[in-house]
Amino acid sequence: MSRRRHRNAWLARCRRLLLLPALMGPAALAQTGANCDEACLSGLVDDYLEAMLAFDGMALPGSIAPLPWAPAVGFTENDVGLMIGDGLWGSSTAVGEGFTLADAATGNVLWFGIVEEHGQPAYAALRLGVEGGEIAAVETIVGREGSPAPFAPTSGYSLDPSFSTAVPVSDRLPRRRLEALVRGYYDSLRQNDGTVYTEIAEDCRRLTNGFTTSQIEGSSVNGCRQQLEAGWYRYVDDVRALRMPVVDEARGVVVAIALLDHAARFVDYETQDGEPRKIPIEYPNTHAVLELFKIEEGEIQRIEGVTAFQPYLMPTRWRTP
């Protein structure tokens, strides 16, 4: 079967799966993956990526083992609702080594790494929502080169190893405290008046699409906390649709997904210390972000993730708490 005919057959069979953009609401997030522990969730991500590369997964002729799809599946890429088989399923040609983090308490699992589309690398984050052992939600955020969003060459990039390291038992924080620290970070970003509503380490670094955004060449203000104290991100008008579907208390890692709106009502501004700045993009836009927060000793130590450039006020396809 040719790739084109294979794709058409795939899409025809996908029509039976209803696209439910708002599937993963608070009630769904509260459900436990009783039939899928962390090993099961991690295995589903591996199977999903394998099926994506094979452009298969629904027991088509010559396929690998079919994926366990739920009767209704929410499926998005960069907040656009798609049919299974579209987006990365049709364009991906390679998947690099990635980082997987599973949360059996919510039935969600994250994969973060590098993908290639016909030889063009991109940063990608994938969230699967699993209910009763079946894939009920697929959310992908892809940061591609060429958009106004930050982007650093992928060659040699790997997630900081601290995200895989367990926090000493005596220093571990409960889920609610970890989430509160991350929420405080986004509250600080939204407010941007120099007040910091969370705890951030002095040497915290933030990378977006592999690009270090917490250390800017030629600036006297560097560091995650220092930039917030200076009101560096005054051009962020709102932080919407904040969700934290994956939390690992043992590693002190929180996965956060949000939309950052930039209204571009001004071009020039000053930080709290009087340093003149210009907004990075001089027209309205929204950035979808999926960020991993490493928290240890009660402080945010490192932030890394993927950003996708979007139209201004892009709506989310997923319910938020």
Residue 38: both structure tokens together: 């962390």
**CB 222 within 8 Å of CB 216:** yes
- Tell me the pairing of strands 200-208 and 299-310: parallel
- The mean per-residue pLDDT over the stretch 199-220 comes to 90
pLDDT for the residue 275: 87
**Nearest partner of 235 among 308, 293, 287, 198, judged by Cα:** 287
pLDDT for the residue 29: 34
Q: How many CB atoms lie within 10 A of CB 22?
A: 13
Angle at 97 between CA 249 and CA 247, to 5 degrees: 15
Beta bridge partners of residue 117, listed in sequence order: 92, 120
pLDDT for the residue 22: 36
**CB 262 within 8 Å of CB 237:** yes
pLDDT for the residue 219: 73
Q: What structural domains and CATH numbers belong to the chain?
A: 3-144 (3.10.450.50), 161-310 (3.10.450.50)
pLDDT for the residue 216: 77
- The mean per-residue pLDDT over the stretch 58-72 comes to 66
Check pLDDT > 70 for residue 17: no
* DSSP secondary structure of 107-174: TEEEEEEEEEETTEEEEEEEEEEEETTEEEEEEEEEEEBTBSS-----TT----GGGGSPPPGGG---
Higher pLDDT, 205 or 3: 205
Q: From the DSSP assignment, how many helices (H) and strands (E) are in the chain?
A: 6, 15
d(C-alpha 185, C-alpha 169), whole Å: 24
- The mean per-residue pLDDT over the stretch 1-26 comes to 43
Check pLDDT > 50 for residue 21: no
Please state, for a pLDDT cut of 90, what percent of the chain lies above it.
Answer: 76
E strands present in 178-271: 200-208, 211-212, 238-248, 253-262, 268-270
Check pLDDT > 50 for residue 284: yes
pLDDT for the residue 14: 47
pLDDT for the residue 34: 52
**Nearest partner of 168 among 63, 289, 295, judged by Cα:** 295
d(C-alpha 239, C-alpha 222), whole Å: 22
Of 10-14, 39-43, 47-51, 304-308, least confident by mean pLDDT is: 10-14
pLDDT for the residue 85: 85
- Please state whether the predicted TM-score (pTM) of the whole model is above 0.95: no
| Three-state DSSP state, 86 | strand
**Residues 84-138 pLDDT 10s:** 889 999 899 999 999 999 999 999 999 999 999 999 999 999 999 999 999 999 9
Q: How confident is the model at residue 23 (pLDDT cuts 50, 70, 90)?
A: very low
**CB 236 within 8 Å of CB 260:** yes
Beta bridge partners of residue 99, listed in sequence order: 112
